[in-house]
Amino acid sequence: MQTATSSTPLVDRPAWKSLKAHADQIRGRHLRDLFKEDPTRGERLTAEAEGLFLDYSKNRVTDETLKLLVQLAEQSKLRERTEAMFNGEKINITENRAVLHVALRAPKNESIVVDGENVVPEVHKVLEKMAAFANRVRSGEWRGHTGKRIRNIVNIGIGGSDLGPVMAYEALKHYSQRDLTFRFVSNVDGTDFAEAVQDLNVDETLFLVASKTFTTLETMTNAHTAREWALKSLGDEKAVAKHFVAISTNAKEVAKFGIDTENMFGFWDWVGGRYSMDSAIGLSTMIAIGPENFNEMLAGFHAMDVHFRTTPLEKNLPALLGLLSIWYTEFFDAQTQAVLPYEQYLKRFPAYLQQLTMESNGKHVTLDGAKVNYQTGQIYWGEPGTNGQHSFYQLIHQGTRLIPCDFIAFYKSLNPLGRHHDMLVANVFAQAEALAFGKTAEQVKAEGTPDWLVPHRVFEGNRPSNTILADVLTPAALGKLVALYEHAVFTQGVIWNIDSFDQWGVELGKVLATKILGELESKDKPKLDHDSSTTNLIELYRKNK
């Protein structure tokens, strides 16, 4: 079935035109004045859902802006497209696939039909298989080839088959079984594998080979290296069954690799790699935190799914986040978006979001294949606070670029230690305040600053941020947070009228790398037909390797 999309090009939609004119007025306005004019702004421009509180008052917006952004979402058919996604329509049109990460966290009694089949029972069947396996590993019942208990889990995967698992493991470490060691190998650089296993005992090590396609060069290379490493000590081919499991949609390739498909955890083509952390790709997470906590995380995702699907756009957290980023990207020339979690456990969250947001929305044509005449795909980046404050915040405060920031913090710490948490949170609020209101030349002068130094010490302010607060980092809170961004990315993609679920942009590099690999390895140095730069680099490498 063809999805409802807006037939009017983005820049011709009435709300877009109104926003353009409106932005010309807003650009000249300072957050200081907006706050002065409306003393209730800080309480009013907020939204709360499922325990996540969003303060978006420190954005360069007025009620009129929000009204127009919501109109833009409506004119872009955000509602219709959301329904199409949740109903299993093939909205990933270039791959002719449904986009159903929401089915991965749907309760058992729901029905989501793809190609005439309700996929929810299948999802729960795999979850149950994962839980049984995770429990066997956690309890020590699953033994290695020599009869030893498994103590080390090594996830081999890349992109969505790595970033979700590693982010979730780090985020939920507090809930993890501490007598198990977790490692994540992704890079084809041999150092990644070598360092991951150098202190591990092979008898006690289980490899999870995570790859949707089971053909990804990096993952297959690492998996073969792992197999050789394991068999060098364990000798017997039979050991593979005890030390390797596969997570994939491709049973044929899994069997070819030598993993018994009994030890395979499946998922489906309607789960995109960067949306797969709730599928079997999350097996390492489930082993780490246990099935109960994993289910709690899924419930968190689902709660945000329901919120996104049913809440009016004015109060809809993912929609607001997505629309605000459209506002800055399109009308303020913002190139990037900083994501700044003030929670050490979320240290890999920005890296995770980079794939989620940039692989999804880094597109140059619309769904119809027409070249876009606007910007798409903001650049997401960030580091946990307070570390970032001592490296790149200078540029956010006093540089020449506008960088909207998302601050993320929790009321409670999982490791309450003296004054640490109050200090941490004080920094979140202080940074957002400083960015918005800055410090005028008069204020700087009044502090006795010599005239020549005044300009250097002025903070212009008027730099936008969102503050997202939640109670404490639980598995459910993580689920809500990730789903918040997933649906914000979806919102952006709908406005931009692009396919947020394909990733053709990674293909060309893969093809060229395969060709060049042959040229680097071949003994008889084949003739090169590249540009002069690439040819020169290949020759240099051949000479010096």
Residues at the site binding ligand F6P, with contacts judged by CB under 6 A? 158-161, 211-213, 216, 219, 273-274, 359, 503, 506
Q: Residue 219 Cβ, how far from ligand F6P at the closest point, in Å?
A: 5
| 315 carries an active-site annotation | no
The full length of the chain comes to 545
Shortest distance (Å) from residue 158 CB to ligand F6P:
5
CB nearer ligand F6P, residue 13 or residue 363: 363
Of all helices (H) and strands (E), which one includes residue 90? none
Q: Which is nearer to ligand F6P, 417 or 508 (CB)?
A: 508
The b-or-e profile of 301-321 (16+ CB within 10 A means b, else e) is bbbbbebbbebebeebbbbbb
Neighbours of 128 (CB within 10 A): 11
The least CB distance from residue 280 to ligand F6P, in Å, is: 11
Least CB distance to ligand F6P at residue 91 (A) = 17
SS3 assignment, position 114 = strand
Closest distance of CB 203 from ligand F6P, Å: 28
Measured from each CB, the residue nearest to ligand F6P is 273
| CA 254 distance to own-chain centroid | 27
What does the block give as tokens for 358?
Answer: 């940039």
Q: Which of 124, 510, 515, 525 is catalytic?
A: 510
Query: How many angstroms separate the CA atoms of 284 and 152, rounded?
Result: 11
3-state secondary structure (DSSP) of residue 450: coil
- Annotated catalytic residue: which of 390, 456, 527, 543? 390
Q: Which is nearer to ligand F6P, 161 or 337 (CB)?
A: 161
Instruction: Map tokens 């037939």 to a residue.
Output: 7
> Across-strand partners of 340?
407
Q: How far is the CB of 159 from ligand F6P (least distance, A)?
A: 3
Closest distance to ligand F6P from the beta carbon of 371 (Å): 23
Distance set, CA 478 to CA 15, 51, 66, 111, 278 (Å): 34, 11, 27, 25, 12
CA atoms of 373 and 435, how far apart (whole Å)? 31
Q: Which of 359, 383, 486, 519 is catalytic?
A: 359
Give the shortest CB-273-to-ligand F6P separation in angstroms.
2
- The angle, 0 to 180 degrees and rounded to 10, between the axes of the packed helices 63-75 and 14-26 is 160
The two tokens of residue 543 are 């000479």
- CA dist 51 and 469 (Å) reads 8
Q: Is there a contact between 300 and 478 (Cβ–Cβ < 8 Å)?
A: yes
The pairing of strands 336-341 and 379-381 is parallel
Helix-strand-coil split of the chain, %, nearest 5: 55, 10, 35
Q: Which is nearer to ligand F6P, 224 or 445 (CB)?
A: 224
Q: Which amino acid is at 157?
A: G
Cα–Cα distance, 204 to 147 (Å, whole number): 9
Which residue, 78 or 209, is less far from ligand F6P as judged by CB?
209
Active site residue 117: no
Identify which of residues 186 and 366 has a Cβ nearer to ligand F6P in the complex: 186
- Nearer Cβ to ligand F6P (122/269): 269
Count the Cβ atoms, other than its own, within 10 Å of residue 484: 26
Between strands 205-210 and 264-266, the pairing is unpaired
Residue 227 amino acid letter: R
CB nearer to ligand F6P: pick between 474 and 503? 503
292 is catalytic: no
Planar angle of CA 9, 12, 18, nearest 5 degrees: 135
Give catalytic residue positions. 359, 390, 510
